[in-house]
Chains A and B, each alone.
Chain A
């Protein structure tokens, strides 16, 4: 077959793919007979009502000398690891605000960090295209903890990393090389590569991953190709499902507490809730933003409260909206409260008992937010 004939076949196949995608999109739209807010309204649900001093900033973690890019809580502890433009990881005791470890990185351009399930190690990755592991109990040489393992193999920047829950030695990274990788931290080897040359992998940088804590074989990824994809770690050859809807980069993904849904946040300024099994987009969280219409704030990071009733979303504007996930309304903006951040919120995360939210910002600080009002227990 000649090149010309092959090119024609390629064009035909591309047109067929595009046509099928359009039909899928339309068929899906017909199946969306309600969203979560519509259903909640039919049940007479009213929005959560916060009084002005309910959620308060109760700690400010100061010490980074550059923008904070990423943070992660240790499971079952009050410890947080943060990564910054200053080229350092800092491990904090969030309760006392003390810094327990400060790690100067060989490659200062770090984008992401994560705590190991046992709280003994931290991982980070960034523009060096590698993921570095540090054992927090290891000997300190020349005032610095040395790296215990470097996971190399990505052909692009490492944008996010997360340890597999209850697996000290398994970690998943996502990269600008359009793949996610599952690593064995003990050996430094890649166990599986998700995407890349295979069909149904992401077609642009992969910015975020979230592993399902109810079923750690499943994880979801978010990408600059405006989709989120669900993966089964046992089947690397193809994404289980692709979730469409966003009109811009999907910067952040996070599983819903029931493990059957997940949330996303995007450059299109919206957060969305998807049903993992059916692929349905169940809710869009879209806020009218004040200010210049030409500058639409992007969603940088999200986290669900323990029950899933609240969705915390950090924005490039410095806002941090608290969404009532059922009613579909923003019920609070931490960005307007006393002691709020002065710049973009780049990352946020909930403590494992759900009692505190930590936000990280380009203002170089991390802040801890907790419920300080009168709580009614029913």
Chain B
């Protein structure tokens, strides 16, 4: 910014005419929104600090990994080639003959991937 060499101090310099003056309403809304955003951020800070404290005494991932491992054992699963029982007979329904009244298609037997 070029210095004013004419003698008047900066306090006396009016704002450039092209800069719009903020309205009282606009200023209020700006302050209101900012205050609300700051309040939300402060609340977020509290919760993040709480989570950090929680992590001080939290167990490592090993325990949860073990739980995942154990939870899949012993559960029968129709889509696995090897599964604990009991085997539900209705699992086979997708490969049994089903007559559709709207067509003469018959689904092929188990073991074939052809669809006729």
Contact = CB atoms under 8 A, between A and B. Distances in A.
A306 B95 CA distance: 20
Q: Which of B41, B93, B101 has the most CB of A within 10 A?
A: B41
The 6 residue pairs across chains A and B that have the minimum distance between CB atoms: A13-B41, A307-B75, A307-B77, A39-B65, A355-B78, A370-B94
Interface residues of B, number: 62
B81 A376 contact: yes
Interface in B59-112: 59-62, 64-69, 71-72, 75-88, 90-91, 93-95, 98, 100-102, 105, 107, 110-112
A60 interface: yes
Contact of A357 (B37, B38, B60, B79): B79
Interface in A29-57: 31-36, 38-40, 43, 45, 48-51, 53-57
Given A305-B80, A307-B83, A372-B112, A35 B61 contact: yes
Interface in A1-22: 1, 3, 6-7, 9-10, 13-14, 16-17, 20-21
A268 B88 CA distance: 38
Sort chain A's interface into a size bin: 35 or more
A326 B72 contact: yes
B50 to A, nearest CB: 10
Contact of B90 (A309, A353, A371, A376): A353
Judged by DSSP, the binding face of B is helix
Contacts of B93: 78, 95, 355
B115 A60 contact: yes
Interface in B8-59: 27, 30-31, 34-35, 37-38, 40-45, 47-49, 51-52, 55, 58-59
Contacts of B111: 53, 372-373
Contacts of B64: 260-261, 275, 277-278, 280, 282
Q: Which of A7, A238, A256, A370 has the most CB of B within 10 A?
A: A370
B113 interface: yes
A371 B90 CA distance: 12
A338 B112 CA distance: 11
14 contacts: A3-B27, A10-B38, A16-B45, A23-B52, A40-B69, A59-B115, A97-B105, A260-B67, A305-B78, A306-B79, A309-B80, A338-B113, A370-B95, A377-B83
Contacts of A372: 94-95, 110-113
Contact of B61 (A278, A309, A356): A278
Contacts of A280: 60-61, 64
B110 to A, nearest CB: 5
B100 to A, nearest CB: 5
Contacts of B34: 3, 6-7, 9-10
B78 A58 contact: no
Given A261-B68, A325-B68, A378-B83, A238 B47 contact: yes
Contacts of B48: 17, 20-21, 24
A69 to B, nearest CB: 24
A199 interface: yes
B115 A58 contact: yes
Given A3-B34, A370-B94, A375-B87, A305 B100 contact: no
A13 B60 contact: no
A20 B52 contact: yes
A58 B38 contact: no
Contacts of A153: none
Contacts of A27: 52, 55
A339 interface: yes
A257 B71 contact: yes
